[in-house]
Amino acid sequence: METKRILRDETKLFEEGATLPKGTELQGRYEIIRTVAIGGMGTIYQARDKRFTKVARLCAVKEMINSAPDPHLRELSIKNFEREANILATLNHPAIPKIFDCFSEGNRSYLVLEFVEGQNLESLLQRTASFLPAEQVISWAIQTCDVLSYIHDHKPNPLIFRDLKPSNIMLNNQDRIVLIDFGIAK
């Protein structure tokens, strides 16, 4: 039996378990393959972009279900989600996923992003019983500083990534870092 519970967050309420089933199509284009993560702000799916018929182009679909009972909270959630889309659309850096699309269907809003194959740093740290090699940690730190410098120097408006934590740093299959979740960037 699937348990549903309400997760409380400063900007919205999200009903856990209300995920899209495998095979769901969004916009007649994005076919859901699997659920990647469920959090307080929404769900991340791996999907296939069906416009590319000769290749399997994978993408990440970030879903926000706007079910906050307070209209002001709903409006704030939508504005934050739209702000994230607009921020990502202005950025071009190898450590930031590219945005491909954004749209709404009913009370759900979606961002379609480059899919980052790999794991987040938090998962890696939880599975690692010993210290990580210093050279590797230094490499990740330099990469993180590089992308933070890029967004802090962003023109015309510098950005601040306000949610830097291991779960928002992905390590791709080339052992390069990628920042994820620009939802509260300013």
At residue 5, does pLDDT exceed 50? no
Q: What is the pLDDT of residues 94-104, one digit of tens each?
A: 999 999 999 98
CATH code of domain 118-179: 1.10.510.10
Q: Token pair 């079910």 is at which residue? A: 67
What pLDDT sits at residue 183? 65
Domain ranges for the chain, please list them.
Answer: 6-114, 118-179
* φ/ψ of residue 145, rounded to 5: -60, -40
What pLDDT sits at residue 11? 31
What pLDDT sits at residue 134? 96
Query: Can you give the pTM of this predicted structure?
Result: 0.80
Sorted by sequence, the CB contacts under 8 Å of residue 8 that are 6+ apart come out as 40
Question: Exposed (0-12), middle (13-18) or buried (19+): which is 18, by Cβ within 10 Å?
Answer: middle
Q: Two tokens at 31?
A: 């076919």
Share of the chain above pLDDT 90, in %: 57
Contact predicate 163/64, CB 8 Å: no
What pLDDT sits at residue 68? 73
Number of residues that this document lists for the chain:
186
Q: What is the DSSP string of the chain?
A: -----EEE-SS-EEETT-PPPTT-EETTTEEEEEEEEEETTEEEEEEEETT-SSS--EEEEEEEE---SSHHHHHHHHHHHHHHHHHHHH---TTSPPEEEEEEETTEEEEEEE---EEEHHHHHHH--SPPPHHHHHHHHHHHHHHHHHHHT-SSS----TT-SGGGEEEETTS-EEE---TT--
CATH code of domain 6-114: 3.30.200.20
Residues marked active site are found at: 163
CB atoms within 10 A of CB 13: 18
For range 100-114, the mean pLDDT: 91
For residues 138 and 110, give the distance between their C-alpha atoms in angstroms, rounded to a whole number: 35
